Structure 1
Amino acid sequence: MDKKRSSVPLVCHGHSRPVVDLFYSPITPDGFFLISASKDSSPMLRNGETGDWIGTFEGHKGAVWSCCLDTNALRAASGSADFSAKLWDALTGDELHSFDHKHIVRACAFSEQDTHLLLTGGFEKILRIFDLNRPDAPPREVDSSPGSVRTVAWLHSDQTILSSCSDVGGVRLWDVRSGKIVQTLETKSPVTSAEVSQDGRYITTADGSTVKFWDANHFGLVKSYNMSCDMESASLEPKLGNKFVAGGEDMWVRIFDFHTGEEIGCNKGHHGPVHCVRFSPDGESYASGSEDGTIRIWQTSPAIIGENGTNLGNGPVSGKVKAGADDISRKLEDLNVSREGKNGEKDKSTDV
């Protein structure tokens, strides 16, 4: 029997405009969750394993550029072109607080130890740290970023902040206590994606057509691989660390061997550039978000499809995939979340 390797993704509909950021929660007693940011102004929460839609956070007035969940997946945060970052109750969808900024917020991240700090950055070239136990208190500000902030992350038990810029190459590592840059990881192009690995060993970056892996403790360059096109995002497999995924302008999600850089798989299906890719915390799947407004969840081990279309391996069964997508669509219709309703006229100045 003729057999071939084929990845059949779970396709998650619901966003009416491009999906620009994805974030997986750690594994919780209730499983793990996936939150997505989109230019349609409404972040969405899903079951991270099945892709089933759970709810939509409504309240932003402009494109949402960044989103995250705390370690228990009880609270969510988002950064928007409406000059605000919002804190949400991830169980009820209620807005808990809105933090005003003076320009577009491009990035946000919860601290990892006790998740009571929220870090934001954006067009103001200022990193802000909000104390969520005192949300009305003025934030701590670190205002010497050399450019507009594109990504932020915490590392070293929240003693260090990582940031990259939209218009300047490199990744800067800041000492939280002093507010000073202690190290710069040099890149030729602006870094569009920066991820700290689950075990804290590596920083994965995408800049232009290069994906790099850095030692997160000694800051040396571990691996650097040239890609066939500009890659906007990359993510390292969290369990074994033996593969990584990357996506970018060619609309495909590619899988590579971490040790050699050899391409070991290519998933086609998106109809626009891929803006973000992230591995699930169990390493068994990874998600991609695209200009086409969809999220696709791919199995790490693709199905083996026989010549009659029968699934012979451990990958997803196409019937289940379709049922999952139909279930999501039905839930969205029940709540009157339609593309027409989400795609109304917006202030052009807030969709940057």
Structure 2
Amino acid sequence: MDKKRVAVPLVCHGHSRPVVDLFYSPMTPDGFFLISSSKDSSPMLRNGETGDWVGTFEGHKGAVWSCCLDTNALRAASGSADFTARIWDAITGDELHSFEHKHIVRACTFSEDTHFLLTGGVEKILRIYDLNRPDAPPREVDKSPGSVRTVAWLHSDQTILSSCTDMGGVRLWDVRTGNVVRALETKSPVTSAEVSQDGRYITTADGFTVKFWDANHFGLVKSYNMPCTVESASLEPKYGYKFIAGGEDMWIHVFDFHTGEEIACNKGHHGPVHCVRFSPGGESYASGSEDGTVRIWQTGPASTHDDTEAASANGLLTGNVSVTADEVSRKIEGFQIADEGKTREKEEAGTA
């Protein structure tokens, strides 16, 4: 490949184990936020634009496989190998609810209206928790054919999507009946499934393939072969003209949505890339890796200064961008801040 401009990421340190999931909030009056989950058991909240660390949610006793924020970024949710899904106050960091499961929780997500939490995992059961009545038993959707890997809501919370760790395909469930209404077939297990911001597309990553499906009629729109096994893919939310993918080769690949041509390939991680996501405005995207870092990449023109390129190649730049106290005080005030520097021995409960 010809040498292209080197993109300089913001490198966000703090996790002591691999980063396995990322989620951006929509734009809020306070900006937008990024939450990351890791096998170190402690999800982290960051300023989505600068990568600055806001705080860490402390309480899980095992690897955290999934994380998300509600529409207003006021609450966070996480699913863990400690057999729980938890709801957190994203302002104070306090734990609001803990939902017990009988096995590892691999996936969780808030409904669009923020009233419900959907979870799935090794139990092969999709559960819907009413957050207005958190002590009430959850509604259980018809049994999944396999261990649940990903979940998502679509069609204004009328449909839910799930994929399995041990078989191909994506299943679409009618929330009202609890039954599968459609299955989207793939050869390999779907490790990443994302509903586009405008609700038009479902983006899936399975093995060496990234596919785009019509989210309303469920037909296959585009399918592209990837240069390596990819674990995650994300479509640019504003214009939809490009998408990103990350996987085993440790690179972040950027492709043209219409042609599948590779536009850029950004290097920096020192381990396989487990998750990639575009920010809500499409001006940047984040990647999480086996190396324990989150990297935020700008989509605009990259600097080509020799010193900047060298710093990027060696992973020396960090996300410690200067911001005024007023810009983040609303989010930081009262938050349970953990010392990122101290070492913590945590037993990981469960494996991928």
Give the secondary-structure state (helix, strand or coil) at the position aligned to 1:275. strand
Q: Measure how far apart 1:142 and its partner are.
A: 1.2
**Structure 2 match to 1:123:** 122
Aligned-partner residue type, residue 47 of structure 1: N
Aligned-partner residue type, residue 340 of structure 2: V
* Maintained 8 Å contact 1:28/1:73: yes
1:96-245 alignment, distance < 5 Å: 96-112=96-112, 114-245=113-244
Counting aligned pairs with the same residue, the percent is 79
**Structure 1 match to 2:65:** 65
Q: Deviations over 1:106-145 (max 9, x none)?
A: 0001000x20100000000000000000000000001321
Alignment gaps of 5+ in structure 1 = 311-315
Aligned-partner residue type, residue 38 of structure 1: S
Q: Measure how far apart 1:81 and its partner are.
A: 0.2
Give the secondary-structure state (helix, strand or coil) at the position aligned to 2:97. strand
**Residues 140 and 247 of structure 1, relative CA distance in 2, 3 Å threshold:** same
**Structure 1 match to 2:6:** 6
Alignment gaps of 5+ in structure 2 = 324-331
Matched residues in 1 for 2:349 and 2:99: separation?
Answer: 19
**Structure 2 match to 1:313:** none
**Residues 292 and 88 of structure 1, relative CA distance in 2, 3 Å threshold:** same
Give the secondary-structure state (helix, strand or coil) at the position aligned to 2:134. coil
* Maintained 8 Å contact 1:4/1:304: no
Aligned-partner residue type, residue 337 of structure 1: E
Q: Measure how far apart 1:6 and its partner are.
A: 1.6
Give the secondary-structure state (helix, strand or coil) at the position aligned to 1:163. strand
Give the secondary-structure state (helix, strand or coil) at the position aligned to 1:29. coil
Q: C-alpha root-mean-square deviation of aligned residues, in Å? A: 2.2
1:324 aligns with 2:320: yes
* Maintained 8 Å contact 1:214/1:223: yes
Matched residues in 2 for 1:89 and 1:275: separation?
Answer: 26
* Maintained 8 Å contact 1:8/1:302: no
1:268-307 alignment, distance < 5 Å: 268-306=267-305
* Maintained 8 Å contact 2:272/2:289: yes
**Residues 325 and 15 of structure 1, relative CA distance in 2, 3 Å threshold:** farther
**Residues 31 and 292 of structure 1, relative CA distance in 2, 3 Å threshold:** same
Q: Measure how far apart 1:345 and its partner are.
A: 4.5
Q: Deviations over 1:299-340 (max 9, x none)?
A: 012414145769xxxxx9x9x95472799xxx9xx9533352
**Structure 2 match to 1:78:** 78
Q: Deviations over 1:267-323 (max 9, x none)?
A: 00000000000000010000000000000000012414145769xxxxx9x9x9547
Matched residues in 2 for 1:307 and 1:166: separation?
Answer: 43
Matched residues in 1 for 2:45 and 2:73: separation?
Answer: 10
Aligned-partner residue type, residue 186 of structure 1: E
* Maintained 8 Å contact 1:129/1:139: yes
1:256 aligns with 2:252: no
Q: Deviations over 1:58-80 (max 9, x none)?
A: 00000000000000000000000
Give the secondary-structure state (helix, strand or coil) at the position aligned to 1:59. coil
Compute the TM-score of the two structures, normalised by the length of structure 2.
0.91
Matched residues in 2 for 1:217 and 1:189: separation?
Answer: 23
1:31-50 alignment, distance < 5 Å: 31-50=31-50
Q: Measure how far apart 1:95 and its partner are.
A: 0.1
Aligned-partner residue type, residue 277 of structure 2: R
